[in-house]
Structures are given as C-alpha cells and as structure tokens.
Amino acid sequence: MNWIKHVVDFKNRFLENFFGQSSIHGFPYVVKKETHFIEKLFWIVTILLSVYATFYAFSNQWKRYNENPTVLSIGFLKPSKLNRPAITICAPFYTNETEVVEIIGNIWGVDNSSVSYEIYDNFLHTMSELNYKNMGNLKPFLEHSDKIYNNVINNQTIDLSVISYMLKNSSAIAQPEYNHVITELGLCQSTTKYNSLQNPFYKE
C-alpha cells in the first residue's frame, strides 16, 4: 500500500536526520551514506559497548548505594553556629547628589560652579553604574584622563574601585551583615564571609 510506503519513507528520513544531527559521537557516521560499511559496523559496535559500559557502571553504583547505609551528620553545633547561605544583592541604588558634590570637591577641588564640574560629575555617575556590559561608557573620559586620574593617584585616601559605592545610598539595606562588594555586575551588597577579597575597605 502507498500509505505504508510513505510512512516507512518518513520514518527513514526522520531517523536519518535525527541521528545525523545527534551530538552523540558516532551516530552521524552510522547514517552517513558516504561512510564505508566496515566503518559503520565499527561505530555501531562502539556505541553498543559504550551503552553497556555506562549501564554496568550505573548499576554497580546503584547496587553499592542500596547495600551500604550512608550516615549524614552535621556535628553537634547549635543552629546559630551554622553558616547561612551567602546572599548577594545587586539592586539599582540611587545616587546621592550631596555626596557627589562633596567627593568632587575633596578629590578635584572643584565645586558645582566650575566649568569642569560636569566632566567629573558625569565620570562619577558612570562609575557608579559600571558593570562588565557597559565598560565602553568610560571611553569618552579618555581625553580627560590626565585631569581625572592625576588627582586620584595623588590622593592616597581615594581608591577608584570604591568611588562608585561611595556615591550609592545604602540605606535600602539596613542590616549590618551586608557589606559592599565589587562584582562583574558592578557594586553589590553581600553577606559572604569572603567580603575582604572584593572590598579593600572591608572590616571584620
């Protein structure tokens, strides 16, 4: 019958396409028409042996798991002594404009009436929103690099890596266990005990 032939042809085309596009090594060579018969036989045997070896290893592990009781223990510690999972929050805090004026005055000795104030203001706002996706936003400041960075380098109390979180109002997270950290997503707040690795001003 014609419909049976169509079904068989469809099945053959489907299997050929499925195995030909498979990411399992060996299947594409089995269905490839240009592959020699001996090579196809080699891949079929290899695939079957791989399936058997996988099943054998899995069954042995499952048998060992069922026949050997496993005891889990967390020790005799009070619940308060157990370390909680670390939480890192990268929320969009708003910029504190009062601190911006103060920082620009402290670092560059410029107030908001100066012509150069806008350059420093834009620079600090860019730094406060910086992450790995928008690093290109610093390019416009290359022409002002001497003016921007010389004062920062000469001021030993200022670190560019922490300017941005100096601009952030952290009152959104009032809990004392949250600390500022520098991540690939910009400046965040975290409870991790490794804060000292991501925050040069971290205090125990």
Q: What is the pLDDT of residue 31?
A: 79
Q: Indicate whether 96 pLDDT > 50.
A: yes
Q: Indicate whether 32 pLDDT > 90.
A: no
Long-range contacts: 104-112, Cβ < 8 Å, 24+?
A: 106/155, 106/158, 107/151, 107/152, 107/155, 107/158, 108/147, 108/148, 108/151, 109/151
Q: Looking only at Cα atoms, what is the longest distance across the chain?
A: 92
Measured distance CA(192)–CA(124) in Å, rounded? 27
Q: What is the pLDDT of residue 128?
A: 75
Q: What is the pLDDT of residue 173?
A: 46
Considering only residues 184 and 118, tell me which one the structure prediction assigns the higher pLDDT: 118
Considering only residues 44 and 148, tell me which one the structure prediction assigns the higher pLDDT: 44
Is the CB of residue 169 less than 8 Å from the CB of residue 93?
A: yes
Indicate the pTM of the whole model: 0.44
| pLDDT digits 0-9 by tens, 125-154 | 887 777 777 888 888 888 877 777 766 655
Average pLDDT over residues 119-128: 82
When pLDDT is cut at 50, 70 and 90, the band that residue 190 belongs to is confident
Considering only residues 58 and 112, tell me which one the structure prediction assigns the higher pLDDT: 58
Q: What is the pLDDT of residue 57?
A: 92
Residue 40 burial (10 A CB sphere; 0-12, 13-18, 19+): middle
Angle CA(126)–CA(128)–CA(129) in degrees, nearest 5?
70
Is the CB of residue 20 less than 8 Å from the CB of residue 32?
A: yes
When pLDDT is cut at 50, 70 and 90, the band that residue 59 belongs to is very high
| Two tokens, residue 167 | 């601009």
Residue 2 burial (10 A CB sphere; 0-12, 13-18, 19+): exposed
Domain locations in the chain? 2-67, 88-198
| Two tokens, residue 183 | 């991540």
* Sign of the C-alpha dihedral computed for residues 144, 150, 155 and 159 taken in this order: positive
When pLDDT is cut at 50, 70 and 90, the band that residue 174 belongs to is very low
Q: Indicate whether 42 pLDDT > 80.
A: yes
Q: What is the pLDDT of residue 82?
A: 56
